[in-house]
Structure 1
């Protein structure tokens, strides 16, 4: 389980540090991989997925993820080859200036598979969590 969680955390480390090489190493290289960014249509294939992360990371000055409600399911239970991870992303990012930060939350589901002896992302879907009280 520790190696699954390490691969999952490395994904967020890549985003926080803008490390395109690390992000590339974390995805299975296949045309069937899938990524859904909040509010966007699904991306298919590792090339388009990595391009999207490169553009996203280039446009963010500061971002930090605090993960909560982390649930991991390993399949099959004996000698797992697939991991399903669901968590809440509590996100802190700059809002265009050093003095201004904004926050948000999303729920993310990630599917990792064993690939060449390592855990790598096969699919990811993130969706924003809306505060029912509203931010007024």
Structure 2
């Protein structure tokens, strides 16, 4: 496969790298894909990295996490308590304007965990449908995550009422 040439292709590659690193449980790779103050030209000696070019993350059901340290701790916690995770991305759309890119997608997640105790097998896998928005910023090293926001898609309930006769059950 050839190297991506357009901004859209580069952002798609960065987005894919993020999810693949999560699947492998590669914390160092996940960390390298998030913006640092240095990526923004900010000298960390004089500025608090948590306040500079603040990255943010919202996992489904979690509060907003702000600052690189808080965001990366969340991924370390998730990786430590998830034995298996796989993402099937659908409905992916990439938009690039200048040095900022927006990726929206549906994360079809298959996971299992926490890790079983010694001698136990991995329990049943759980599926989850999540919509996500990933915001990337162009850096000298390529596109890096600035924000990730994921929200569960609620399952539609079947309507047991027959609407043709005024709502009385059939």
TM-score, normalized by length of structure 2? 0.72
1:65 equivalent in structure 2: 87
Indicate conservation of the 8 Å contact 2:94/2:104, yes or no.
Answer: yes
Q: Distance in 1 between matches of 2:16 and 2:76?
A: 18
Paired residues for 1:1-136 under 5 Å: 1-30=8-37, 31=50, 32-75=54-97, 80-94=98-112, 97-98=121-122, 100-133=124-157
Preserved contact between residue 130 and residue 152 of structure 2 (Cα < 8 Å): yes
Q: Distance in 2 between matches of 1:45 and 1:99?
A: 34
* Gaps in structure 1 of 5+ consecutive residues: none
SS in 2 for 1:66: strand
CA distance in 2, matches of 1:17, 1:131: 28
Alpha carbons 1:106, 1:126 under 8 Å: kept: yes
Deviating above 6 A after TM superposition, structure 1's stretches of 4 or more consecutive aligned residues are none
Structure 1 or 2, whichever has the larger Rg, is 2
Q: Is the 8 A contact 1:95 1:102 kept in 2?
A: no
TM-score, normalised on structure 1? 0.89
Q: Secondary structure at the match of 1:124?
A: strand
Q: How many residues align?
A: 130
